[in-house]
Structure 1
Amino acid sequence: MSAAAPFPINAAVIQAIVIAYRNAKMIADGVMPRVQVGTQDFKYLRQNMADQFTVQETRVGRKSAPNQVETVGDLVPATVFEYGLDEIVPVNDIKNAAPGVDPVANAAEFVMKLVTLDREVRVANTVFNPANHVNKTTLAGNAQWSDYVNSDPVTAILTNLDTPVIRPNVMAIGRAAWTKLILHPKVIDYVNGKGGTSGGVTRQQLADALELEEILVGEAFVNTAKKGQAASYQRAWGKHCALIYREQPTDVSRATTWGFTAEWGDRVADTQYGKDFGGLEGGYKTRAGERVNEVVSAPDLSYFFQNAIA
């Protein structure tokens, strides 16, 4: 930072704000957990699940050697990408800030919020992309869970949880589909066993009933309008539902999970003073970002319901 900067900026505080930033409404990290990689270019294991379930001859003769097997799967090369944004904070904003308000710190948090929203949208598009699932179906008409008379989401979910070779342990579902699902009379009846058709069920109740570790409901909104146009808000997570097998990988070269997020290093935070960054006295350019790549490593360890509701 230039020695001519008119205000001292604590870089450690800015870094701490960016690293610690979390938005409880975002589910990206829950669906595709982060795992550190050592370099920007890395290799992850794309497993051949059939080989893992093929019975081998394991009996060993008195003077013979055991049969040999190989680690199943291919190591696939991939790259971590950089995502970040800048915001300019003029010196005048700092001078005019109310007591206790730190415009530079606020800018760092705001920038990281937008970077996190972009990641949420990327993960939602990845999870709800039919191409990323071997096992899938598109619901239509009276099979959609918004049809409370004819559809049977409980049977559909329970039946298809048994389709992948490893049973999924997490449900990722958009808020609109979730609301319809928990108010469905057959769901209420299955969870409560009371034959009721009103009220609803909680997330934990349905997770327990379906033998899932967690149900993640995507609630984030995103403005899809172009800059300068009236805002048009849409859900980042659509009207779909994905059942996935999730583990927290410790090493991308040995990951057995539907998908994960490769992360290289900590989040980046930086603030620089410049005379040309706004006003007569210049300003501070605050940057925040991260280096990640969302990877689908085992597309057969899931079941995808496209258009779960109308």
Structure 2
Amino acid sequence: MAGNRPDTGDVHVNALMTNVSIAYINDNYIADKVFPIVPVSKQSDIIAEFDKAYWFRDEMTERAPGTKAAESGWSVTTTATYFCVSFALRKIIPDEVRANADDVFNLDMEAVKYLTDKAFMRREKEFADTVNASGSWTSTGTINAKWSDFANSDPIDDVMTTKRTIADLIGREPNTIVCGKIVRDRLLRHPDCLDLIKYTQRGILGEDLLA
């Protein structure tokens, strides 16, 4: 009936919201957190490696007055190299699309975000493939039980033992541990870990306290 006009459908045309949108962007990339980014000026070069045996050997000796000091030194290995590979991806924005885009779209900014995430994704995959490749790591430690086995596992001792093992090999303790979310969640609920912080002011175990 005309007396009921205009109704809600007559007075509004649906449009894109300007303050809300839905997108999927990964914010949990860890490659640059695990290994620092090293700037280089050349595409390829050699990485000098000071041989460990010379630096870990005790050679300081007593010297009598007027005599020469004992000599020592070290060798440098130059077998390690790097080569930077270029990666690229483009997102074309045709003039017709740009001209016809509603104000809610900032096509240039969205393209930058899109391609930046693609770059991070590729770097993360290269990182994961490299660190998980067979032969990348020397395994010298074992654990008696999975950390999900709360009754029989001892994650604190496992980590401390591994840190000592690494320190024995390279002369310093590691400062980073990488684990998946399933392992992290198990540790956050592990009785041994919870027992360490039960008298803290928070009493709630998070990643900061777990570290």
Calculate the TM-score normalised by the size of structure 1. 0.51
1:227-306 equivalences in 2 (<5 Å): none
Query: Which range is displaced more, 26-35 or 47-56?
Result: 47-56
CA offset digits 1:29-57 (Å, max 9, x no partner): 01011111120011113443333211123
The reply on whether 1:95 has 2:95 as its aligned counterpart is: no
Tell me, in whole angstroms, the C-alpha distance in 2 between the residues paired with 1:40 and 1:92: 39
2:47 is aligned, of 20, 40, 44, to 44
Structure 1 unaligned residues grouped into runs of 5+ = 1-21, 208-310
1:185 is aligned, of 179, 188, 191, to 191
Partner of 2:163: 161
Contact 1:126 1:132 in 2 (8 A): yes
- The structure that is strand-richer by fraction is 1
Partner of 2:7: none
With over 3 angstroms needed to count, the CA separation of the structure-2 counterparts of 1:131 and 1:75, relative to structure 1, is: closer
Calculate the TM-score normalised by the size of structure 2. 0.73
1:112-261 equivalences in 2 (<5 Å): 112-129=116-133, 131-137=135-141, 143-164=145-166, 165=168, 166-192=172-198, 201-207=205-211
With over 3 angstroms needed to count, the CA separation of the structure-2 counterparts of 1:59 and 1:102, relative to structure 1, is: farther
Tell me, in whole angstroms, the C-alpha distance in 1 between the residues paired with 2:153 and 2:131: 24
How large is the RMSD of aligned CA atoms in angstroms? 2.7
Following TM superposition, by how much is the alpha carbon of 1:94 offset from its aligned partner in structure 2, in angstroms?
Answer: 0.8
SS at match of 1:156: helix
Tell me, in whole angstroms, the C-alpha distance in 2 between the residues paired with 1:206 and 1:120: 24
Partner of 2:35: 32
Contact 1:43 1:77 in 2 (8 A): yes
Tell me, in whole angstroms, the C-alpha distance in 1 between the residues paired with 2:108 and 2:198: 51
The reply on whether 1:64 has 2:65 as its aligned counterpart is: no
Tell me, in whole angstroms, the C-alpha distance in 1 between the residues paired with 2:129 and 2:186: 21
Tell me, in whole angstroms, the C-alpha distance in 2 between the residues paired with 1:97 and 1:136: 59
Following TM superposition, by how much is the alpha carbon of 1:192 offset from its aligned partner in structure 2, in angstroms?
Answer: 3.1
Tell me, in whole angstroms, the C-alpha distance in 2 between the residues paired with 1:129 and 1:47: 25
Contact 1:58 1:67 in 2 (8 A): no
- Paired amino acid for 1:171: I
Tell me, in whole angstroms, the C-alpha distance in 2 between the residues paired with 1:105 and 1:90: 15
Contact 1:145 1:180 in 2 (8 A): yes
With over 3 angstroms needed to count, the CA separation of the structure-2 counterparts of 1:47 and 1:147, relative to structure 1, is: farther
SS at match of 2:123: helix
Contact 1:48 1:73 in 2 (8 A): yes
- Paired amino acid for 2:188: I
Following TM superposition, by how much is the alpha carbon of 1:118 offset from its aligned partner in structure 2, in angstroms?
Answer: 1.5
The reply on whether 1:54 has 2:60 as its aligned counterpart is: no
CA offset digits 1:113-141 (Å, max 9, x no partner): 112112112212333445222244466xx
Contact 1:51 1:72 in 2 (8 A): no
CA offset digits 1:243-276 (Å, max 9, x no partner): xxxxxxxxxxxxxxxxxxxxxxxxxxxxxxxxxx
Following TM superposition, by how much is the alpha carbon of 1:163 offset from its aligned partner in structure 2, in angstroms?
Answer: 0.4
Tell me, in whole angstroms, the C-alpha distance in 2 between the residues paired with 1:134 and 1:110: 37
Higher Cα radius of gyration: 2
SS at match of 1:77: strand
With over 3 angstroms needed to count, the CA separation of the structure-2 counterparts of 1:187 and 1:204, relative to structure 1, is: same
With over 3 angstroms needed to count, the CA separation of the structure-2 counterparts of 1:188 and 1:127, relative to structure 1, is: farther
SS at match of 1:64: coil
1:109 is aligned, of 109, 113, 133, to 113
CA offset digits 1:71-114 (Å, max 9, x no partner): 55445222111122122222222112222633133212211211
- The structure that is helix-richer by fraction is 2
Tell me, in whole angstroms, the C-alpha distance in 2 between the residues paired with 1:25 and 1:152: 28
**Corresponding pairs, count:** 180
Tell me, in whole angstroms, the C-alpha distance in 1 between the residues paired with 2:198 and 2:78: 45
